[in-house]
Structure 1
Amino acid sequence: MPSTVGAVYASRPAPWTAPLLYGAVLVAGGYAALSGRGPDGDLHQNQAGGRLGAFVATMVLLFALDLFEYRRYPTRTPAGPAVVLLCVRLGLFVAVAATDGSGLSRVLFVLVPFTAYFAFGRRAAGALALGCVGLAVATTPHSYPDPERFSDLLMFVVGLVLALAMAAAAVEEHRLRARLEASHDQVARLSAAAERGRVARDIHDGLGHHLTAVVVQLEKATAFRERDPEAARRAVEDARRSARQALADVRTSVRALDAEPFRLRPALEDLVARQDEIVLRWDGEESGHGEAALTVLYRVAQEGITNARRHAGASRIEVTVLLDPAQARLTVADDGRGFARRAEGFGLRGMRERVRAVGGRLEIDSGGGAGTRLTVTVPQRQRQGEPS
């Protein structure tokens, strides 16, 4: 890990660690002083009182130093001040050890590599941990012949290892959390982009399509108003129908924004309402099919009806829906003039993309003068997330 770790440590990990150790040492040292024990054995009352006062004052300074640092640098201490504060803490730790009769003050030195890990990185913390071990060995020259002192030294080393492990775990947790937040932001951006694309397709396929038809029919009515009043009247009626379909699309979009579940049958009934040349046939229950598949069926019906009336000159259009446990199928058939397969435009290509996105297939049967039949089939397993 590099020594510059400001980007990794955006917040102080485990801020309770140092105050907890200070409290434990304060209780143990205070008890030892009140019981008349000093670093080198029994003490007179005056000596015990003096050591207790110095001990408590030093511990208060440690608490105050931590409080000052956390208030001055609430997220991370810069490298320069961190060096100064670390040296001050080391001096205070030595002063506490000199006045502590319990022997527990050695645990404070565990905080040296622990805090250094977050300020300077792993290598600096490891070096300071080795220095603390060397200091502990130097201050206990009889540790090897004395099993009790050797055990204390061994526990101190274990404490240093655990402190480094805890610091490393905190660093890794923060790094993973930062990556997760970045991933969430990226997912949010991609979701927003996908939603914008979906809305754009809906506007093009639905509202834009019908408004274009309204404009074309009104222009036709204007052009034929004097020469062919009947043709002008039919054009106005077609424009009215396209406007109704545009309104139906807007209502469908509003229902989606209100988080209401999409229902295919009401949507299709709104689409063909008051249009005598369109017949809707329905068989089955839509409750067992996914909303995405049902929405695609609606869009296919919408595009098929619009193409049949605008381009094929159809006088009769049949929309047939069959929903069973295996699949969802919709057919749009008209009696118009048909078209050549090579004449597929943007609308049909967009329709194929929609159907393919939900794992379905689109079939087009059309020939000159024989009408057109669009059939879209979506297998049921798509709702359960199985591959098509």
Structure 2
Amino acid sequence: MGVRVTGGGRMNPREEVLDVSLFWRVFLLNAAVLTGATALLVLSPATVSTPVLPAEGLILVAGLAAMLVANALLLRIGFLPLRRLTRAMTTIDLLRPGMRPPVSGHGGIADLIMAFNSMLDRLEFERATSNARALSAQEAERRRIARELHDEVGQSLTAVLLELRRVADHAPETVSAELHDVQETTRDSLDEIRRIARRLRPGVLEELGLASALKSLAGEGHGVSTGCRIEGELPELGEEIELVIYRVAQESITNAVRHAESTRINVLVRSDAAKVRLRVRDDGVGIGDAPEGAGIRGMRERALLAGAALAVDPGPEGGTEVRLDVPITNGSER
């Protein structure tokens, strides 16, 4: 029996040691059972006749059953760390970093678990790096689209609105009323474009900071009652960290409005010497047993960029509570 850490190709010395170690582990376990059974037969007064008597056959069957049970128990105990490793392999989620199976067992088994943990370290680092590049490109595209909406579409609609006003001033009264309705429709469209541009590129975050941006986000209406409370003075976290907090709050509010049938949303931000805590609670239907959607997984990916811990759980009074804890370190400050 052999277990290899990597795929095809020739085994390196470490793989050969692991393979041999597992072979001898199984061999010695089986040898211990057979040696014990042989010693028992030698020391036992029982004999086997030809033909085998019923009583002797019963003894042989009981001895075989005892050997099989002892062998199964020893193998189960010996390979228990491998079962833990298998369970960890099926439950590990790279969006929840830090989960590692404990290193236990002897020889090759401990080496296998350490190799798996090292692989997880590399995968988490590579995923975080690639996510950082992807989210950075996404934010750049958001800024470009917001700028085009504001500078091109917004200005075009503003020009249309001014022209409609000029035409309405010189049009007959019956036509003027219809032009007024068109003006209102155009004005509503212009306001909606500006709201979309603000969601894509939160200019208030760059100009006034995180606290003002969150209050502005809560004050946009969203069709439900939304409140925002800031406790304590927020430290300087850096543009990327502040953007992570803002986007998580934005996505939490959007999910509560679109999917949770909420009537009330509360945003709370609290800061202390160790971390900044964001809490978004709603009174909606809750998440239940539904699998996590793209919105929540996107929040987890953003949380990884800030080295933050994200939890999405049922609220203390129903609904859903999103918790984001961002550690304050020297590297997060501007």
TM-score, length-normalised on structure 1?
0.35
User: TM-score with structure 2 length normalisation?
Assistant: 0.40
Which of the pair has the greater relative contact order for Cα pairs under 8 Å at 6+ separation? Answer: 2
